[in-house]
Amino acid sequence: MNQTSEPLAAQARTLAKQGDWEGARTKLLQLVSEVIGASAKDLEINRDQYSLNSLNGLTELDDGRRFFFKYHNEEGEDKTIEEYYNAELLREAGYRVDVPLYACGEPGRQILFYALREDLRLADACRAVEEASDWQNMAAVVKAQDEYDEEALEVALRTMKQGSVEDVIKEPVHQLFHHRLVTDGVPAGLGGRVGRNYVGKIFAFPGAEAPWEVLKDLKWVINNVEYERTLEELFLESGDVLAPAKLAEHGVFTAHGDAHNANIWYETNGAEPRLVSFDPAFAGRNIPALLAEVKATFHNIFAHPLWLYEPSRVSERYRVTTRIESGKIFVGFDWSLSPLREAFLRSKTDKYWKPLIAELKAKEYLPENWERILRLALFCCPTLVLDLRADGGSGHTPQSSALGLAIAISAGSEPVAGSDWFCRLFAAIR
């Protein structure tokens, strides 16, 4: 498609990916004026590490009003999104959510305008703690996260019901998972972003290199723990198990669906800090229970610090080694969860996942393969949000590529023997 015939948001995204920030700014200025119905005199795009498939920033109108904006546009995926923004349904359900003042949900023009805030996003508040290793003063952030997890569970349990195929397959949350795995005429799991980013490509790691045709069949040994499933097996299983119709007729409820820390405000203007979500692009009333907090669980805990969002810094901070021999890829690293992320993991485990799984069991809404569903969804979070290959267009290096894929494998596959963070998570919530 000729760029000039594309919707303005799609053009802006393309220009930004090409590094033409002024061109993207010009397109967004025009889009702002069209959506709000008033001329915009200034616009600034935030070039932050968390905007993986979106752009956000600040804009000022000729009449002096100022807004925070965020828009989401993905190549080849516009037509899969309906009812794109759902802040009102979250507020009606009882979630703390920032409702946009203006919105456009047309494919290729999806954009939200919020009243301008002075608050940090939770991602930025966490980054400040971790950059300073300020573990003695992280209590306020952890307490706010604890309360948010408790509130998310309360709404989940209150709105929980048995799902239906008709309702579940319409939910936009599948855009984050199954829709990124499929292309007509290609085996489910090897299409979409997998086909574009990985199949047929070369993978460069520190001390090793392999084409997809070799890597896809290798067994992974990560920090001396061997894993059962290969990379291709996990993608194929994801394409099957995460099919929307197969996630129906279990427990569903109203949820944000994409409540990672870059979509959360860290409010500090009250007696105590509190969290407020925004950008509910994938929210819905019939989100499968096992998908609702997967993105938040992976991105807020296992994707930090640095390796997914600031991959160029991995080689400065961590030692990552690889070697390939005898049908296996051996990956070693000294990366670990920070004390802040360990606290987030405890909160998500004890205050959300453990009681949720117990309630799903009690209501007989929990599928027998629930652990595989949850593991595969966790695996898809890093592998489908960006191209994890070094030099694949997402800024990844050989070190961050090996580290990211290793963490993804450990999320999706059980070890042959031994234990890891994900094993301990599932042991705690069973």
Structural domain contains residue 266:
no
Q: How many CA atoms lie within 13 A of 163 on its CB side?
A: 29
CA separation for the pair 354, 399 (Å, rounded): 34
Higher-confidence position of 47 and 353: 353
- 286 shares a domain with 184: yes
Structural domain contains residue 122:
no
- 244 shares a domain with 102: no
Omega of the bond prior to 305 within 30 degrees of 0, cis? yes
- 58 shares a domain with 173: no
Structural domain contains residue 49:
yes
Mean pLDDT taken over the chain = 92
Structural domain contains residue 120:
no
Question: In total, how many domains does the chain have?
Answer: 2
pLDDT of amino acid 80: 37
Name the residue among 85, 245, 255, 232 with its Cα closest to residue 178: 245
Rg for the chain, CA atoms, rounded: 21
Structural domain contains residue 7:
yes
Q: Is the pLDDT of residue 229 over 80?
A: yes
Higher-confidence position of 153 and 106: 153
- 392 shares a domain with 334: yes
CA separation for the pair 415, 423 (Å, rounded): 8
Residue 372 makes CB contacts below 8 A (sequence gap 6+) with 237, 241
- 221 shares a domain with 102: no
Which residues span the domain enclosing 72?
A: 3-115
pLDDT of amino acid 225: 97
Domain of 15, CATH number, reads 3.30.200
Q: Is the pLDDT of residue 1 over 60?
A: no
CA separation for the pair 344, 340 (Å, rounded): 6
User: Which region, left, alpha or beta, applies to residue 200 given φ > 0 means left and ψ of -120 to 50 means alpha?
Assistant: left
Name the residue among 234, 258, 178, 290 with its Cα closest to residue 405: 234
Please state which of the ranges 11-15, 290-294, 334-338 shows the lowest mean pLDDT. Answer: 11-15
- 185 shares a domain with 71: no
- 84 shares a domain with 192: no
Structural domain contains residue 199:
yes
pLDDT of amino acid 52: 60
